[in-house]
Structure 1
Amino acid sequence: MEQPIARTTKPVQALLVVDMQSAFVSGDGAVPDAARVLDRTIDLITRARAAGALVIQLQNDGEPGAVDEPGTPGWQIHLPVDADRGEAILRKTVDDGFEETGLGELLADAGVHDLAICGVQSEMCVLSTARTALERDFRVVLPHDAHATYDIPAAEGISDAVPAAMVSRVAEWALGDEVEIVARARDVDFTKP
């Protein structure tokens, strides 16, 4: 299976920002390279807004006691949402941003066919949301430098620790050859739906 890294893509009509919540991108519990993924996500949001593309943020509702438990500081969306531009926050309780959130309907109502996805965690919510988008025949662009996750700790008798950067790359690979992976967020262009 070949998974080429695209240099440029045709414009996308929407940006999905997955779980960029304070617990995951700030403080001691942040993913490695949180500053990078925040910087790239801010750039994507800024350019999407300027082009009139739809911006949607997904927010995970963690279990009681989790760092992303609703109402806790870690649960809060870290980047501002511009409701005046029609931006939305969709809350979810599972990895897949489409499951029981209305995301599919929101994208369909806006006339979106092409979307970019960024955020955390690469192998969980980003992967699950991207996979469902592909299954629903959306064109999906995944900027390599705009998603991140945690290191996987060593497991005795199974494996050494796996660095977060490798976990993110494996998540991309797991999406197969239907996803468009671009090396840099700056290579993603936006347009109105």
Structure 2
Amino acid sequence: MTQRVEPVDALVVVDVQSAFVTGEGAVPAAGRLVDRTADLIARARRDGAFIAHLQNDGPPGSDDEPHTPGWELHHPVAPGPTEVVIRKPYDDGFEETALGTVLTDAGVRALAVCGVMSEMCVQATARTALELGYRVVVPHDAHATQDIPAAPGIAEAVPAATVSRVAAYALGSDAETTVPAAAVTFTAPSAS
């Protein structure tokens, strides 16, 4: 039987965009990531949790440049009062976006964070959520990144799975980072 954690009332899906989960630029664990995030989204919807899909606006010429095929969200969105898309210009999903406001307005107190890239946008968003007083769950199998190439004379290559683990571990003991996506449970947010 899979362990369960206390329910969260929101799911933040970070940058699960075509450029990062399909084609040559996909993270090494793209298949697993897509499966886990799809399952989390389906269960969050079923249980009435708030869902925020973050969509990174990359610079001109990047794989996630706005309105290019790579910029498109991979998972279908069911827009409405409990599911939103928030475009973001920075790694941190809270920086210069409405994420904090929509979570507060929805009465969210605890959230799960999943997506890409572990050591950048996922970690930055989870860290700010912790600083804002949210309970944060980062399921270990629902975020991913790229391998870090070797730096001759400095370090060997670092596999993506190791980078992801270190990124989550660096959030400290206040974040729940050792649970699998299957252990995350959802509930509807309470009215503020």
Q: CA deviation at 1:181?
A: 1.7
Q: CA deviation at 1:107?
A: 0.4
Q: How many residues align?
A: 188
The RMSD of aligned alpha carbons is: 1.1
Q: Which runs of 4+ in 1 moved over 6 A?
A: none
For 1:7 and 1:180, the matched residues in 2 are separated by 13
Partner in structure 2 of residue 114 of structure 1? 110
Partner in structure 2 of residue 102 of structure 1? 98
| TM-score, normalised via structure 2 length | 0.96
Find the residue that maps to 1:16 and give its secondary structure: strand
Matched-pair contact (CA < 8 Å) for 1:182–1:188: no
1:19-38 alignment, distance < 5 Å: 19-38=15-34
Find the residue that maps to 2:13 and give its secondary structure: strand
Given the alignment of the two structures, is residue 165 of structure 1 paired with residue 161 of structure 2, yes or no?
yes
Find the residue that maps to 1:112 and give its secondary structure: coil
Partner in structure 2 of residue 139 of structure 1? 135
Q: Which moved more, 1:154-163 or 1:180-189?
A: 180-189
For 1:104 and 1:84, the matched residues in 2 are separated by 17
Q: Which moved more, 1:174-183 or 1:63-72?
A: 174-183
1:28-177 alignment, distance < 5 Å: 28-84=24-80, 86-177=82-173
For 1:85 and 1:46, the matched residues in 2 are separated by 16
Matched-pair contact (CA < 8 Å) for 2:49–2:82: no
Segments of structure 2 that go 5 or more residues without pairing to the other structure are: none
For 1:54 and 1:118, the matched residues in 2 are separated by 14
Q: CA deviation at 1:182?
A: 3.6
Q: Match of 2:18, as an amino acid?
A: S
For 1:158 and 1:175, the matched residues in 2 are separated by 25
For 1:10 and 1:74, the matched residues in 2 are separated by 35
Q: CA deviation at 1:85?
A: 5.5
| TM-score, normalised via structure 1 length | 0.95
Matched-pair contact (CA < 8 Å) for 2:5–2:183: yes
Matched-pair contact (CA < 8 Å) for 1:13–1:113: yes
For 1:79 and 1:53, the matched residues in 2 are separated by 17
For 1:153 and 1:182, the matched residues in 2 are separated by 26
Segments of structure 1 that go 5 or more residues without pairing to the other structure are: 1-5
For 2:9 and 2:179, the matched residues in 1 are separated by 19
For 2:24 and 2:98, the matched residues in 1 are separated by 33
Deviation digits for residues 56-111 of structure 1 (CA, Å, limit 9, x no counterpart): 10000000000000011000011000014631110011100000111011000000
Find the residue that maps to 2:177 and give its secondary structure: strand
Given the alignment of the two structures, is residue 17 of structure 1 paired with residue 13 of structure 2, yes or no?
yes
Find the residue that maps to 1:143 and give its secondary structure: coil
Q: CA deviation at 1:173?
A: 1.0
Q: Alignment identity in percent?
A: 62
For 1:62 and 1:33, the matched residues in 2 are separated by 22
